Chain A
Amino acid sequence: EDQVTQSPEALRLQEGESSSLNCSYTVSGLRGLFWYRQDPGKGPEFLFTLYSAGEEKEKERLKATLTKKESFLHITAPKPEDSATYLCAVLTDSWGKFQFGAGTQVVVTP
């Protein structure tokens, strides 16, 4: 059965303190790995898609990387506005079914 596991469950950072979030996956056929950001009371908001091992994507203070078994979301010099839950999802079916991890809740304090 396809599985997506995110760690840590929660992360508290000081402003400017860089860190990484992990998403490990076991799927029969990966068609894409997606990172979403979710603010309280809102739906997930798309950040990145990665398709093959070795691929990297960057957006402002966020950088996502992909290996054959896991993905990392690096947060460089975070700001309080980066506080959110970060969700990892894998696409495993041709019609677009996503399996999500439980998320990492990130809190950045000034």
Chain B
Amino acid sequence: DTGVSQDPRHKITKRGQNVTFRCDPISEHNRLYWYRQTLGQGPEFLTYFQNEAQLEKSRLLSDRFSAERPKGSFSTLEIQRTEQGDSAMYLCASAPQGITNEKLFFGSGTQLSVL
């Protein structure tokens, strides 16, 4: 169990630029989640994958956000035309198949700063 890995850990970008984050879940986990967390708040759900299928998206996820999970392994989250309001910690979490009322395993997140 090597844990959930996220890359990069920190990203500084200028407003209007595109950014992409990567998440490598625990290898046997088929469920993958993206959350966003701003300072002083709890994580907010963005989207959920079961294997390669994106099954749920929050209304928080505007058209500028897109997530993929090709082949049901790693996942990417892309933000196009970044805005200052996108500055946040982007957390990835994974969980095994089957029992859905089990804990999530979180990565250390990608801290995005939009200047």
Contacts and interface: CB of A to CB of B under 8 A. Distances in A.
Chain A, interface residues (CB within 8 Å), range: 20 to 34
Contacts of A42: 108-109
Contact of A43 (B44, B100, B102, B108): B108
A32 B104 CA distance: 12
Contacts, number: 69
A25 to B, nearest CB: 12
Given A43-B109, A95-B55, A89 B101 contact: no
6 contacts: A41-B108, A41-B111, A96-B33, A100-B42, A102-B42, A103-B41
A87 interface: yes
B72 to A, nearest CB: 15
Nearest to B99: A96
A44 B43 contact: yes
Interface of A: 4, 6, 9, 31-32, 34, 36, 41-46, 49, 51, 87, 89, 91, 94-103
Nearest to A88: B42
B65 interface: no
B87 to A, nearest CB: 15
B1 to A, nearest CB: 13
A96 B48 contact: yes
Contacts of B112: none
Contacts of A99: 45
A44 B104 CA distance: 9
Nearest to A105: B40
Contact of B42 (A45, A46, A51, A87): A87
A49 B99 CA distance: 13
Contacts of A103: 40-42
Contacts of A4: 42
A9 B48 CA distance: 29
A58 to B, nearest CB: 17
B50 A95 contact: yes
Contact of B106 (A32, A44, A96): A44
A96 B55 CA distance: 11
